[in-house]
């Protein structure tokens, strides 16, 4: 994490604090999506150029695309408690909607207890209702405009049949009505086009929602895998402690190094030092005295590994043991 930050100061920096928050909120993303979005939004300007993706993976444990969705959710909803009560899938579903559409959906549905499929159906029903209402209004306006135009044309035809005694004021009024009818037709055509655009936008948003749902499922699968791994490790530690309490572990350690004991020891060791081959920046900035202590400990491990390899490669023959 220190390699990604803009500063090499030993004091706790704002980015260090945000990194710890990102790690904390990413462990419970279902309840802390908006808080995690806030942390990511505040952290991004502090991360070195080109290091954002690594920082997100190291501290939020998610793809950059998912992090962008969380940041968008925070920018859209802030820390509004009304939205903070919803789950990640519900919040993601609400992102593409307008504020008016979201308010209508939340007021008319119990979104918090709805599944993603039920939310999709509610959004589709709401948009279809809006589109139907718009089409009905447009058709009604078109019908009224047609009636007005027909009535105006009849009056013009009747007046024209009477000859040149038609008052100029009346002709002007009829002309004005014709222009108003033309404007009404233009407005109705615009409304109709808006309704069509709304339908196209609904189709596009439905496709985006489907993709978002797949991304959420993928992220949830990763979280489940991580939780299962943690549970397995915790169970193994508990079993080891139980064995030690009964004296079994002590007997096994004195008599024989079993493959299970060795496997657990390797996993615990690698879990603690796995990052060491990738700490070039940290070691490059480290005082020589401290680096020498690392080197001495590493030589101890190397010596143990060499001896263990020789023991493992040995085999028994009549009269003794041969070590290759």
The confidence score (pLDDT) of residue 249 equals 45
Identify the domain containing residue 200 by its residue range: 118-223
Among 14-23, 57-66, 100-109, the range with the most confident prediction by mean pLDDT is 57-66
Whether 180 maps to a domain, the answer reads: yes
> 37: closest CA among 76, 86, 63?
76
171-212 pLDDT, tens digit each = 788 788 888 888 888 888 888 888 788 788 878 878 877 787
**Same domain assignment for residues 205 and 146:** yes
pTM of the model: 0.36
Within a domain: residue 275?
no
Counting the structural domains of the chain, the total is: 3
Whether residues 141 and 213 fall in one domain: yes
Say whether both 62 and 131 belong to one domain: no
Look at 233 and 133; give whichever has higher pLDDT: 133
Is 65 in contact with 101 (CB distance < 8 Å)?
no
Looking at the domain assignment, is residue 252 inside a domain?
no
* Residue 242, both tokens: 């139980």
Over the chain, what HEC string results? CCCCECCCCCCCCHHHHHHHHHHHHHCCHHHHHHHHHHHHHHHHHHECCCCHHHHHHHHCCCCHHHHHHHHHHHHHHCCCHHHHCCCHHHHHHHCCCCHHHHHHHHHHCCHHHCCHHHHHHHHHHHHHHHHHHHHHHHHHHHHHHHHHHHHHHHHHHHHHHCCCCCCHHHHHHHHHHHHHHHHHHHHHHHHHHHHHHHHHHHHHHHHHHHHHHHHHHHHHHHHHHHHHHHHHHHHHHHHHHHHHHHCHHHHHHHHCCCHHHHHHHHHHHHHHHCCHHHCHHHHHCCCHHHHHHHHHHHHHHHHHHHHHHHHHHCEEECCEEECC
308 lies in a domain?
yes
Residue 307, φ and ψ in degrees, nearest 5: -65, -40
The answer on 199 and 133 residing in a single domain is: yes
277 token code pair: 């081959």
Report yes or no on 67 lying in a domain: yes
- Are 128 and 218 found together in one domain? yes
Task: Mark which of 85, 109, 140 sits at the end of a domain.
Answer: 85
pLDDT of residue 150: 83
pLDDT tens per residue, range 150-159? 887 787 777 6
For residue 91, pLDDT over 80 is answered with: yes
Is residue 97 one of the residues assigned to a domain? no
Could you tell me which residue, 102 or 38, shows the higher pLDDT? 38
Average pLDDT over residues 105-113: 79
Residue 206 resides in a domain: yes
Note whether 208 and 130 are same-domain residues.
yes
Half-sphere exposure of 281 (CA within 13 A, CB side): 9
pLDDT in tens, 116-152: 787 877 787 877 777 777 778 878 888 887 888 888 7
Tell me if 127 is assigned to some domain: yes
What's the pLDDT band for 252 if we cut at 50, 70, 90?
A: very low
| Residue with token string 């202590």 | 293
């Amino acid at each position: 994490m220190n390699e990604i930050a803009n500063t090499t100061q030993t004091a706790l920096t704002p980015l260090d604090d945000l990194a710890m928050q990102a790690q904390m909120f990413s462990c419970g993303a279902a309840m802390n999506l908006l808080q995690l979005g806030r942390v990511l939004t505040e952290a991004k300007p502090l991360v070195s150029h080109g290091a954002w993706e690594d920082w997100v993976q190291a501290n939020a444990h998610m793809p950059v695309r998912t992090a962008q969705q969380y940041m968008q959710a925070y920018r859209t909803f802030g820390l509004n408690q009304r939205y903070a009560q919803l789950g990640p899938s519900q919040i993601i579903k609400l992102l593409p909607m307008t504020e008016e559409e979201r308010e209508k959906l939340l007021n008319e549905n119990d979104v918090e207890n709805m599944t993603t499929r039920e939310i999709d159906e509610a959004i589709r029903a709401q948009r279809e209702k809006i589109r139907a209402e718009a089409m009905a209004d447009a058709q009604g306006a078109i019908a009224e405009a047609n009636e007005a135009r027909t009535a105006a044309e009849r009056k013009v035809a009747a007046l024209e049949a009477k000859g040149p005694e038609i008052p100029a004021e009346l002709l002007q009024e009829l002309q004005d009505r014709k222009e108003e009818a033309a404007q009404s037709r233009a407005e109705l055509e615009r409304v109709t086009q808006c309704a069509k655009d709304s339908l196209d936008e609904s189709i596009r948003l439905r496709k985006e929602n489907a993709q978002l749902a797949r991304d959420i499922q993928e992220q949830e699968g990763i979280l489940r895998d991580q939780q299962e791994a943690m549970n397995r490790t915790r169970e193994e530690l508990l079993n080891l402690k139980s064995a030690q309490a009964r004296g079994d572990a002590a007997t096994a350690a004195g008599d024989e190094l079993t493959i299970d004991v060795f496997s657990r020891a390797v996993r615990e060791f690698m879990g603690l030092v796995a990052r060491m081959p990738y700490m070039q920046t940290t070691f490059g900035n480290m005082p020589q005295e401290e680096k020498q202590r690392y080197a001495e400990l590493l030589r101890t491990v190397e010596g143990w590994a060499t001896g263990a390899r020789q023991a493992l490669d040995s085999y028994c023959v009549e009269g003794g043991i041969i070590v290759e």
